[in-house]
Chains A and B, each alone.
Chain A
Amino acid sequence: MPTAVFASIPNGFVLLGFWLVYLLPSSPLFQRVDGVHAVGCFWIMSLTLLYFCQQLLNGLTLGAVYALVAIGYTMVYGILGMINFAHGDIYMIGAFLGVLTLGVLTALGITAPWLVLPVMLVMACLITAGYGSAIERLAYRPLRGAPRLAPLITAIGVSIFLQNAVQQLQGARVQTLQPLFTSNLVLWQQPVAGQPDFTLAIGHSQLLIWGATLFCLACLSWLINRSSVGRAQRAVAQDLKMAAILGVPTDRVIGTTFVLGSALAAVAGVLVMIHYGVVDFMIGFNASLKAFAAAVLGGIGSLSGAVVGGLIIGLVEALWAGYLPGEYKDMAAFSLLILVLLVRPSGLFGRPEVSKV
């Protein structure tokens, strides 16, 4: 949609101004629903454009969540070279812990969002981090040095275990929740003839997702780039054996990586639960596919790549859902991924693999 780009540029240029004032409003994009061309009143946005903006906002929200989950994938891959298939289920565990905390707080009579939200996030993060660490100790650490595919299979086993455990203990039904945040930030209100107004709005929960994602990313980037833990992590990611020889406690560093990744996934799980209001024991599967795709799209092993990949996949998916047949929505991520990999075989930010003899 090149016109969407133009609409955001102030009409300082004569040609552009002419185009904006006379030509653009008569284009189908700016046609009003009742069929009247809004010539000369181009500031009345067409529904098409509003709809597009709404999809963009939805896409950014989805993308932020994918990015948070994808970081966990990419960190583990960067260090162990292993696809952690249980990561999606860690995210599901985080969401469920959020649900349970919310339930307990409601039972205690605490409902103020500013109090509920931090408690939920902290509880989910702490316990989920414990899960990540325990899984690493029990299922992955004994397999250091085993064939590369062995931990992949234990990860799949863990994933089956967690899914079924949650299904048994929490029930198979979809959990629906009262939304914590119901209010919206209205950006634009567009009257439509004969219908209720079309509103372009950002939900407060969406703002929360963006804010929390940005905060987490900032913390993580400080941790990785500035702290001693991060330095050790980078060293291990670069060369595990060499780092071990130089005295880096590799096992502890790997454990920390799982703790960090799990905590981020828990944040994503709680946020998704708050925003969409539905959770079931299967959400981990879809999220893990998308997040994995996002990590690979950005170049697996690269943190900024995971974030960019997550945002791109979220945007593409939302736009696909908005404009193309919805049944094929899940194809969007993978089609894009395949197209990108054909052009850049190691992802957008990935370093090309150098084969040494």
Chain B
Amino acid sequence: MENALPFFVAIPLGAAFFIPLVSLTLKWVPDLLANAVMAVLAAMAFLTIGQAGFYHMGGWGTHLGIDLRLDGLTTLMLVTINTIGLAMAIFSVQYMTKYTSKLRYYSLFLCLIAGLNGIVLTGDLFNLYIFMEIVAISSYALVAFGCEHDELEAAFKYAVLGTVASAFILIGIALLYAMLGTLNMAEMAVKLAAGGMNMPLTVALGLFLCGFGLKAALVPFHAWLPDAHPAAPAPVSAMLSGVVIKTAGIYVLSRLIFNVFTVQLVPDLFSILRLFGVVSMIVGGILALGQWDMKRLLAYSSISQIGYIVVGLGLGTPLGLTGALFHMLNHSVFKSLLFLNAGAVEYATGSRDLRHLGGLSRNLPFTANMSLLGSMAISGIPPFNGFWSKLIIVLACIESGHPWLALAAVAMSLVTLVAVLKMLKRAFYEEHKPLTVHATEVPVLMRAAMLLLATLCVVLALLVLTGLRTPFLIAPAVDALSTWAGTAPGQGMGI
């Protein structure tokens, strides 16, 4: 399996460059190619479950070359990215016909996938920065894809803040390299454990917190997200909200905090994370209540859900990590589903303003049901996956002696319920508005993508049956976070 690791980046990148070569008359080729690539990648991601290993790029050793590493957390992220990506590719086939240039869309989309896979696979900090920039540049372009007022303005805001974040991260990397003399994360962890913290390293950690906090849209740094995510085409919003902020923000942050800077070095780190988390949770949730744009409401609720994940990480206990990672997986599924619903509504009616919508459950019964299911999952109604991950986070809060955090998590769950009920009621129930009278159900492939994600919402709840404390797929990821530190990579492939 280790030999297949580079192909997680190579296949989407190759397809991304191949698509512009396709003649404009063969319109079905990009659709087919993008879907085939995503299906292959998703299958490959599922094959990595339970595996671990290293791939040394070009056959150089760890100290000289670039490592790709596969462990539990990487597997979890790969499965998330590529499964959601597959659903988005299926959705895009018919949704993107209303935009002009499908070729460029698929090119950028596949570049995004390549960058995301690269971020989770690489074991090298600078390489991670490069992949992060690939993700960033393609997502700026995708946000600006519509080329209208809102899109351009949002993309500019996103690009400026994103570039500043990348700049912070690069300064942090430079400081780490200056202090430790290596860029490999495992070697960094060993040297940090031996040498302890000092002033420049603390500054670097602070810069990383700001930079990745901005990428993850934690609350003091969240201003770009509610503009950028609604402006993109629906599948891209779903990808950005569901996967990108988690991969480029939360995943890297947790890797750095748990695997590179270990807790023994920075005792206050966890309380900082908890503070960020709880503030994001509350502010995002409350701001979501006042929104009238469907996608904007969902974007604010993303901030709130990211807060849950960060609170879980900030507890630092195995149960907290389990909850956080489980919620990360769940949130990417149901938030993507809800964004696709919003996209379907926009496709059918041409608007996503809740004041102009209403009664769509009669026109779009399938979308309405999917939306109901996604809303129940996000607000934590029992049989669905969102309930279980929130339950685990709340239990972890109580277990580690933070009852107020648990209370806040439960309360914000209710606020989320109110926000999504407002969306459901205004869009799908109530009376018809002029805009919605003649709306018809969306095409079959869009429905198929929604059905795929909705099925996942139910299936992921079954993960709890494999043990509340050690769910399948999540437990290895938690192990990776808590035991990785200090273990230098062995002689993996050695080609």
Binding partners A and B: no
Query: Footprint of B on A, CB under 8 Å?
Result: none
